[in-house]
Structure 1
Amino acid sequence: MGIISYIKEEIQVIRERDPAIKSNMEVLLYPSFKVILSYRVAHKLYRRKHYFLARWISQRATRKTGIEIHPGARIGKGLFIDHGSGVIIGETTIIGDNVTLYQGVTLGGTGKEKGKRHPTLKDNVMVSAGAKILGSFTIGENSKIGAGSVVLEEVPPNCTVVGVPGRVVR
């Protein structure tokens, strides 16, 4: 996919999911748009073992947007970060397609483990404001994580999780 078609696709994702956006030009101001473009460049560099340059790009994007995405994270198509300030996505996080994250979400680890230490979010997951998903486990397809929830264990597909600690309610 060429860069122009990729940018058009990212613009379309934001336009579809945020009714406040009135034009494509407005999307260019959107922190989610800026950070995902920077992430894609940083991730390519990271995969080619250019770790310092990848981190430099990602940290510049963090300072500009308030959204921190480690360049080692693996992110599918259609990630939408709405009101993204304070969002943190850890190094070994895997995010499927069409995932939505709101402000203050953390996809983090629980300590200094080696290897895979961050969560995997399958396709069509929605994580509400302030939720924390901590550890190396999977959030199943089409699941929703409620605002302020702290999720510390696997979530099956098609579930809604709320509370501290998070529990499946549907």
Structure 2
Amino acid sequence: MAEQYSTLQKDFYRESGKWLSTFEIWAKCINPNLHFIYILRQTQKYKKKSLPGLFWRLVLRRHQIKYGFQIYPETEIGEGFYLGHWGSLVINPKAKIGKNCNIAQGVTIGQQNRGKNAGYPVIGNEVWIGTNAVIVGAITIGNNVLIGPNSYVNFDVPENSVVLGNPAKIIPAEDATEGYINNRV
């Protein structure tokens, strides 16, 4: 049933657990997180060099500054994207994020410029990333992973895991994101 809905509707479903009309989505944009996701998804719809694409890129840039979200339209982000709180957030445009992912404030998902992990992270489906977590380098985060607040992750994480601390430690857990990721699409 969820296949009939747009990526934007799936993003908004994560917040409310209800399928919303276009008007209801627009009305929910009073929430800064949802407003930013709306603008990001609109920007992703259009080619960079088209007139609507240019318009939405300018709107996105203004709201990146306003809300402190540094997320670019080039970033591959799956449906059901959820931003828990607004505030400083940096995601490298070459990072890849799966579906039904939650990201809290203060998170950095970034590039590592040298060493064995030079590159960008790939984050699986149904991953919960806590406040001030840092994920860097050409690493893979598996599906159903919870990354605890203030964790520093620069290594691959297998699916069904909880990652805690700095330096981070992996704890296997089949129910890692149970109760953390609501209204999955």
TM-score tier by shorter-chain length is 0.7 to 0.9
Question: 1:14 touches 1:27 (CA, 8 Å); kept in 2?
Answer: no
- More moved, 138-147 vs 27-36: 27-36
Deviation at 1:159, TM superposition (A): 0.5
What is the aligned length? 158
Does residue 121 of structure 1 match 2:120?
no
The aligned residue for residue 10 of structure 2 is 9
Against the structure 1 CA distance between its residues 165 and 57, is the aligned structure 2 distance closer, same or farther, given a 3 Å change threshold?
farther
- More moved, 142-151 vs 6-15: 6-15
Against the structure 1 CA distance between its residues 55 and 165, is the aligned structure 2 distance closer, same or farther, given a 3 Å change threshold?
farther
Q: Give 1:21-170 correspondences, 5 Å limit.
A: 27-45=28-46, 48-50=47-49, 53=54, 55-111=57-113, 117-170=119-172
Please give the secondary structure, in 1, of the residue aligned with 2:87.
coil
User: What is the alpha-carbon distance in structure 1 between the residues aligned to residue 70 and residue 84 of structure 2?
Assistant: 14
Against the structure 1 CA distance between its residues 135 and 123, is the aligned structure 2 distance closer, same or farther, given a 3 Å change threshold?
same
Against the structure 1 CA distance between its residues 118 and 57, is the aligned structure 2 distance closer, same or farther, given a 3 Å change threshold?
farther
Structure number with bigger Rg: 2
Query: Larger RCO: Structure 1 or Structure 2 (Cα < 8 Å, ≥ 6 residues apart)?
Result: 2
Against the structure 1 CA distance between its residues 59 and 72, is the aligned structure 2 distance closer, same or farther, given a 3 Å change threshold?
same
Deviation at 1:9, TM superposition (A): 3.5
Aligned-pair identity in percent equals: 29
Q: Deviations over 1:127-159 (max 9, x none)?
A: 000000011211000001010001001100001
Against the structure 1 CA distance between its residues 117 and 61, is the aligned structure 2 distance closer, same or farther, given a 3 Å change threshold?
farther
Q: Deviations over 1:64-119 (max 9, x none)?
A: 32211022100110011011311111111111110001111111112389xx9321
Q: CA RMSD in A?
A: 2.9
Please give the secondary structure, in 1, of the residue aligned with 2:73.
coil
- TM, length-normalised to structure 2: 0.73
